[in-house]
Every structure is written in C-alpha cells, then in structure tokens.
Amino acid sequence: MRKTASIEIFGVLNKGSWRKSANRMNSESYFMNKNAQSLSISLEEKLSEVADTYKISRDPSNYLLIPARANSVGRLNANLDGWTWEETIGFRPQYGCKTYATYNSKPHFVDHQAGRYEVARGLVLDSHLNMDNEASREVQEETFKSIGMVPTKDVFVETIIAMDQTKDPMLAEAYKNGSINTFSMGADVESTTCNICDNVAATTFQFCSHIREKYAKREYKMADGSMRLAGELCNGTVFQELSVVSDPADITATIQDGLLNISKAASRRLSNREVQELVSFTVKYAKVIPSYLADNINELLTSSNR
C-alpha cells in the first residue's frame, strides 16, 4: 500500500546561511543546528552515488539544502495514518538501516512521479530521529487519541533535502522566496494495523469497519474508558520519496517545459522584487495558466537576463 502525507519545511540553506520558513512550527531542527560545511561534504559523497541515476548536478554548490519535518511518531497524520516508535526505529535487514533511514538517498520529485528517477529535482541527503522537542499539550492529546499513550517528547523524523537549482531554477526560486513551504512524503507499507481493534490488513479488502470508515473521524470507546480516533498504524514501511505537490503550488508540464529557464534574479528589464512576484505567481497558479501565457512569462523572465 502507498501512503502519502504533508511535510513542513523548517527553512532553506542558500549560500551558506539559513532562512527559516515563515510558517515554521515551534520545533527545533536538528539539521539547522549543524555546521553547513559538514552537510556539504556529505552531499558531495551522496552525489557521487546518485547523480547519474537522478540526472542531477554533481556540483554541491548548485544545491539548496532544505530541512523538513517528515512524519511524526506515535500520532496520526491528516490522512489518519501513523507510525509507532517500534516501527520507526525497527531495523530493516534488507536495507541495512532503521526504518526512518530508508528516506536516505531517495529522490525529491514534483507531484510524486515515483519511478521516473530521471525527473528528480534532487535527493534526500539524510534523515534523523528528532527527539529534541518537548511534547505540547496538543501533541500529548493527539498521541493519546491515537495510541493511548501520553508522550513527554514530540518525536518526529526530520529529513534534509538537497535540491538541484540548475535543473529546476523556477522551483528553486519558489523555495527561496517562500512561495513553496510544504512537501509530501511517499511510503510503501506491507500492512497496517487498526488502532481500535488491532486488525492487520495487507490490502484494502482486509480493512475492518473502523478503517473503512476512518474519514468519518469517529471516536471509539476503548476498554479503559478512553476515546480513540480510528486510524492505521503502518507496518513494514519503506519511505520512497519526498515531493513538492499541487497544494499550495502546482508545477505542471507547462511550467516544466516553458518556465524553468529563469536564472539569477538580477536583471535589466525587471527588478528583483518584480521577478520574485512573477515567480511566486506562476508557481502558485501554474495549473491554470494557459500555455501561450506561460510562453510569454518565460520569454519575459529569460530575456531579462540577456
């Protein structure tokens, strides 16, 4: 089964300095507290392994580094899917790593183009089990309604994405100016366990009634008298990719083919602010922009640098 979920960006590392995301949650980022030089060295090693497959640059200086909160541990996400502590830290002998580390070296896509590795915009450079944040009351309540436990820490998997600016300059500009600040993760799971009745399902045909009706967001009374929101706890997880998705931005083939030739913002015909506004607009409304208008916008952007 394939699972997807929204991801929050902590910030962007560009030209040696971090820019925090405007809507960043009150959580500490592991990667933003690390030395940027060590991340660059790690990137160079990773690129030597994956660049040819993903058709991305081998030069570390061409990359944005974007730390993101991937998936929480112990509570359900917006799709009512969740990962227990045991699942997240479980060792996967076939991959030689713990479950959360299956993110490592996986592609960064637009709109979950799984399997089309040549269109990757970058890769997941590294992943980390972040245990540095105290659990808020909201996190405690959500966790209790998910698995019947009250945590002291807000535990989550944090990833850092390396995005090739030369392959997709428009997307890179959108990350830098904040037009895009959320991702979506994709994972394959062998089965899921109902958190109400413990039914294990490897296919949708094996779902219990709680999971079939989970989007009704009903709460069920447990044996101890507590109430629990029905959801799926994932088993046998392999995290496959991280994508930028249609909400809040939709990058379609029109944008890919016609609008990705923008270079540096310095221009003669447009000011830096005008370029930023135009980039933000085209990224946000790419799906509804007619092809002729996309061509005109692309001409304006590219000619501004001639």
| Comparison of pLDDT for 270 and 177, the residue scoring more | 177
Q: Are 194 and 147 in contact (CB under 8 A)?
A: no
pLDDT at 26 over 50: yes
Residue type, 233: L
181-188: average pLDDT: 82
Position with higher pLDDT, 157 vs 39? 157
Question: What local confidence, expressed as pLDDT, does residue 182 receive?
Answer: 72
Peptide bond into 151 cis (omega under 30): no
pTM score, two decimals?
Answer: 0.72
* 8-state DSSP, 134: B
Q: Looking at residues 7-18, what average pLDDT do you find?
A: 66
Is the model more confident about 264 or about 104?
104
Residue 73 pLDDT level (bands cut at 50, 70, 90): very high
Check residue 105 and give its pLDDT. Answer: 94
* Whether the predicted pLDDT of 140 surpasses 50: yes
* Cβ contact 244:251 at 8 Å: yes
Mean pLDDT of 131-154: 92
Burial grade of 17 (CB within 10 A; 0-12, 13-18, 19 or more): exposed
Which tokens go with 234? 């994932």
Q: What's the confidence (pLDDT) of residue 273?
A: 64
